[in-house]
Structure 1
């Protein structure tokens, strides 16, 4: 089917949230395709390129992110078409349906949800682990948060003239470093290597509190995505048919 919405996530858990949101919104799932990159920028590019060649009209980057702006807390939501690369240069993409997104934000606030943040998001080919590195990147780029897919997807959207936006909720905030045991926690298929991560942490038990906190933060981020996505995916679906 042509004129569909392509959604690129880094993790299987994010893809599952997207599928649940599509069902909640009563949207035709045939008009949406979901790809999981395994938190690898190169794979995100490959998936986005394939979907663009198959006839996608809209490309979305959806999932959790690491906070760079100190004011952002776990579960805070960012919706943006403004993506920067490491170094600060912006990717010029077609934002398209910004007015409809503004209406959706207003309606969600009327329903009791917090407003999302609109501002730049940083795409990185590598994991940003330390609080010091997050602070440096925030100072250099002004980006609100960082993920490993948005720049890759935005680059394909820009090259193909497709509409793009990122929907990212914050997991780890700017002042919280990722524990070393979590650095290899994502498998190439986007699943979480729970046993491997726990075995790594067992050799350094001091990491366990940070791992537990990361799990809570990620849960808050996925929960926020779950509540926000039905409205946002409806906007993207309508835009793909215009």
Structure 2
């Protein structure tokens, strides 16, 4: 199978993790589904597949920060089975990775009870904000689709407000929005530090995992 693989992410720093890989075109756009879809559509010309890659929030107990999750199915705004051969190739490249469902509808899930309920209702292990957009493009174009993501926060942890407002549509981080949030809600500082430490650990694992996954994000063929 010829053609590049489109990698859809939320942040530019996630793009940087896969940038050295051959045979990929990576785009970012977390929190901006319309803009992200346009970037994926533009990158998908001549593509062999589309994969959602980056950090993810756990929806089930037993997943630790730095653990890998590979999807077999996506639920939410777009419902789609992932390509089985690609799913297993990704899992084989990441020893210890869990295979299971993902959920994505574009929302930042803001209660622990809803996170756990979504996980139980759909048999989903994790949630993100880009997979449904990537899946919709893959479905429309008849391309193989996969999700491979690294846990950055646990099922019983809610992201502090300053983190939730920091995602810029272009994949960058809005530092001013974070500072405004901290000024208005100083009690979240300790949780921001804990959350940031988790993100840093997940980012280190993302970089290591990208090397293990290899060219064209392990797409078979």
Matched, 1:202 2:183: yes
In 1, are the aligned partners of 2:5 and 2:50 still within 8 Å (CA)? yes
Q: 2:67 aligns with which of 62, 76, 80?
A: 76
State the distance in 2 between where 1:139 and 1:80 align. 15
What's the offset of the Cα at 1:41?
2.8
Matched, 1:95 2:84: yes
Q: 1:163 aligns with which of 144, 153, 161?
A: 144
Describe the superposition over 1:95-140 as per-residue Cα deviations: whole angstroms up to 9, x where unpaired: 34345335424xxx4xxxxx11110111121111221221221122
In 1, are the aligned partners of 2:71 and 2:87 still within 8 Å (CA)? no
Describe the superposition over 1:19-75 as per-residue Cα deviations: whole angstroms up to 9, x where unpaired: 2xx3xxxx43xx2211111333333322222222x1110111111111101111111
Deviates more, 1:36-45 or 1:121-130: 36-45
State the distance in 2 between where 1:167 and 1:36 align. 15
Give me the TM-score of the superposition, normalised by structure 1: 0.82
State the distance in 2 between where 1:82 and 1:209 align. 35
CA-based RMSD = 2.1
**What are structure 1's unaligned runs of at least 5 residues?**
110-114
State the distance in 1 between where 2:15 and 2:113 align. 30
Q: Secondary structure at the match of 1:8?
A: strand
State the distance in 2 between where 1:81 and 1:159 align. 19
Q: Secondary structure at the match of 2:70?
A: strand
Hey, what does 2:41 align to over in structure 1?
49
**What are structure 2's unaligned runs of at least 5 residues?**
none
Q: Secondary structure at the match of 1:122?
A: strand
Give me the TM-score of the superposition, normalised by structure 2: 0.89
Hey, what does 1:112 align to over in structure 2?
none
What's the offset of the Cα at 1:237?
5.6
Cα distance change on mapping 1:126 and 1:153 into 2, 3 Å:
same
Hey, what does 1:188 align to over in structure 2?
169
Equivalent pairs counted in the alignment come to 220
Cα distance change on mapping 1:57 and 1:187 into 2, 3 Å:
same
In 1, are the aligned partners of 2:86 and 2:146 still within 8 Å (CA)? no
State the distance in 2 between where 1:150 and 1:123 align. 6
Deviates more, 1:42-51 or 1:179-188: 42-51
Hey, what does 1:234 align to over in structure 2?
215
Q: Secondary structure at the match of 1:43?
A: helix
What's the offset of the Cα at 1:236?
3.1
